Structure formats: C-alpha cells, structure tokens
C-alpha cells in the first residue's frame, strides 16, 4: 500500500519522505476529499491560511560565523520543564479520521520524540486513553469551554486526573468560522469517530458536523471567567488564539502561564493577521510575564528558528503531524518531529547558535 502511494506521489519508497512537504503529498494520496478538506482547509477565501506561510518569506536569517557549534543542542524548557526541542504538537480534532489509532498514535510518537502533545476537546480519544497509550509522555489539554460550567469542570477534572500538565483554553472560536471546503463536501463526523469526552452524555449526536460541535462552545466568555478557570483547573492555564498585544497583556494580568499566538490555522477569521506577523507585538506586550508560544504555517526547522528569533519560546505544529499520521501512523509522526528537530539543529549550527536560547532578534532581518 505504501509503495503504491509513494509511486503515485512520485516519491521513492526506499528513500522515504524527506520533509514535511513530502508527507503532505502522501496524505493527499491517502485521505478522501472531505477528510483532506477538513484538515487542510481554512476560512472563506483562505487568505489567512496562505498568509501564515507567506509571513515567513518576509524574514531572512542572519548567520554569525566563527562560533563554536561543535555541540549543538535543541533542548529547551517550556513552563519550566525540559523538552527535546522547541516544537510541540498542536491540538487537532478528530484524528482518527486520518488514521485508525488517531490521538493514541500521536501520543506515542510525541512521547518518543520527548516533546509535548496537546489533546483537543474534540478528540476521538479520551484523556485517560491517551495517558494509557503513552504514560511516559508529557501532555496538555486544549479546552473548548462548554456552555454548562459543570460540564467544563468535569472535562478539566478528567484531564488533570489523567496527568495532563496544563489547560490550553482556545479563545478564538466563540463562533465557528465559515469553512467552505467543509460546506462543499458536506463534511460530517462518522458515528464511529465519536467525541470521547461527550460520548456518555445524553444527546451526544451520532453524526457531528463542525457547526454542531461549535454549539458545545460557550460564546459568552469574558476575561473575568479566566479567574474561575485558574482556580478550577489547579494546573497552569495557557490561552491560545492571541493576536492582539492588548489581549496578550490582559492574559498576563489574569495570571496565564503562557499565551499562544495563533489564528487557528487560518480557519476562523479570514484576512486576520498572520501568526508570525503578530508575534513581535505580543512578545513586547507580554514583556517576560508569561511564555509566548506560536503556531501557524511552520513547515521547516529554519522557520522554527525565525519564530525563536522573534521571541517565541516554542512553536506548535498541527497539519504536519496530521499528514504524517495519515501516511504512516505513529512512525510517521515521530519521523516528522525528528525531521524538524534535525532541520532546526542544522539551522542553529549555521546561524552560529549552539542552542535555542542563543537565537535572538539580531538573527533575523527583513529582506
């Protein structure tokens, strides 16, 4: 099967995928049109989806020479704990659509790569199942705040009891963006891909659409609600979906441990600012009071280096993980993470930076 897919995609099976782009080609040959559209698509005309990638073309790296790079390491810390690389795994919903093992495969691969996996509220595996699949792995839980606060508390309790280290509250989905690829394909979640967190609740729909899933998100939230969340969670709270410096400052004022600069992969507000373009302003507003992470458009280790130079502590990747999962399951995900780690190590060496902490604003410039 893999040989046929590789041949159809014009790849040499013996050599295997060499980069994230090769995995995307394999995924396109593997997934059906509706599933591919769900994972690959953005909102409306997909300007923001494209601009997340184009933003990296607005920067160039500035190497320094005659620096001892005989021993380059990619290790760093995130929330005070060491990870093997400043590359974490983003929350992505419905991962069993890409591969039968879904989130369980991603959890095992993330643990083997010694990085953090973030599990979506809309996962096709429960927090307990993920913890059992990779007990040694580090994991965060991405939260969509349910309109019933008791349900939200129960979800948080499940994650914390399963050893999840932080809650990542997604802020940029008070309502669902208009995702026209899904509308054209009539995308629905098949009954066998149920939302495990809601599976035992009365009225859990057998066929889930993105619109019906969005009804499980409370659009009434304000900054005041973060105080309740921090107390209820009992573990660090991270907010995801920050593009405005003003919002970044408010997140710090409300005690968030980190902010994730993100536009939801271009899937919410079309023509929103690219994540990389928003990053410097957020870093300035945070001013060291919290860690700053970023997602959106990263496909190369050199692009991770650009994000680090602009002030990110680490980045998160979503679609590259899904392409690898679809193509080769857990082995593919681990390979993609290792590819990006190796590309980053090479970029660091050529930049004259022995480790991620050495990458600063002087290492990037506008072309």
Contact indicator for 127, 164 with CB cutoff of 8 Å: yes
Active-site residue (options: 99, 146, 264, 335) = 264
Q: Distances from the Cα of 246 to the Cαs of 167, 183, 242, 249, in angstroms? A: 22, 34, 9, 5
Q: Distances from the Cα of 200 to the Cαs of 197, 203, 204, 330, in angstroms? A: 8, 9, 7, 28
- Distance, in Å, from the CA atom of 359 to the CA atom of 261, rounded to the nearest integer, reads 19
Q: Give the distance between the most distant pair of CA atoms in the chain.
A: 65
Tokens for 328, please give them.
């080769």
- Distance, in Å, from the CA atom of 208 to the CA atom of 367, rounded to the nearest integer, reads 45
Active site residue 264: yes
- Distance, in Å, from the CA atom of 210 to the CA atom of 299, rounded to the nearest integer, reads 26
Q: Which residues contact 50 (CB under 8 A, 6 or more apart)?
A: 42, 266
Q: If DSSP codes are grouped into helix, strand and coil, which group holds residue 238? A: strand
User: Of 183, 197, 44, 60, nearest to 123 (Cα)?
Assistant: 197
Give the up-direction half-sphere exposure of residue 341: CA atoms within 13 A in the CB hemisphere.
23
The residues that are catalytic are 264
């Amino acid at each position: 099967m893999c040989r046929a897919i590789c041949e159809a995609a014009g790849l040499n099976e013996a050599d295997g995928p060499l980069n994230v782009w090769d995995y995307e080609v394999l995924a396109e040959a593997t997934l059906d049109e509706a599933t591919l559209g769900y994972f690959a698509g953005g909102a409306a005309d997909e300007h923001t989806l494209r601009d997340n990638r184009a933003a990296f073309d607005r920067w160039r790296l500035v190497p320094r020479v005659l620096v001892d790079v005989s021993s380059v390491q990619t290790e760093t810390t995130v929330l005070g704990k060491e990870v093997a690389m400043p590359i974490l795994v983003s929350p992505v919903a419905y991962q069993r659509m890409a591969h039968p093992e879904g989130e369980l495969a991603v959890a095992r691969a993330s643990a083997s790569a010694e990085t953090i996996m973030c599990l979506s509220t809309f996962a096709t595996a429960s927090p307990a199942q993920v913890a059992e699949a990779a007990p040694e792995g580090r994991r965060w839980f991405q939260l969509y705040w349910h309109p019933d606060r008791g349900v939200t508390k129960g979800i948080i309790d499940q994650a914390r009891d399963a050893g999840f280290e932080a809650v990542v509250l997604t802020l940029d989905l008070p309502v669902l963006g208009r995702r026209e690829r899904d509308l054209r394909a009539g995308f629905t979640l098949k009954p066998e891909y149920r939302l495990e967190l809601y599976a035992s609740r009365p009225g859990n729909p057998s066929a889930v659409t993105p619109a019906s899933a969005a009804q499980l998100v409370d659009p009434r939230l304000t900054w005041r609600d973060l105080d309740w969340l921090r107390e209820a969670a009992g573990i660090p709270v991270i907010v995801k979906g920050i593009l405005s410096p003003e919002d970044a400052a408010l997140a710090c004022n409300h005690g968030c441990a980190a902010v994730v600069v993100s536009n939801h992969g271009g899937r919410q507000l079309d023509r929103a600012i690219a994540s990389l373009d928003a990053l410097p302003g957020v870093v300035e507003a945070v001013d060291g009071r919290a860690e700053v992470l970023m997602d959106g458009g990263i496909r190369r280790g050199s692009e991770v280096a650009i994000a680090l130079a602009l002030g990110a502590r680490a980045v998160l990747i979503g679609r590259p993980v899904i392409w690898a999962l679809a193509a080769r399951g857990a082995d593919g995900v681990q390979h993609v993470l290792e590819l990006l780690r190796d590309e980053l190590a090479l970029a660091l060496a050529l930049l004259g930076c022995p480790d991620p902490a050495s990458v600063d604003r002087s290492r990037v410039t506008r072309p």
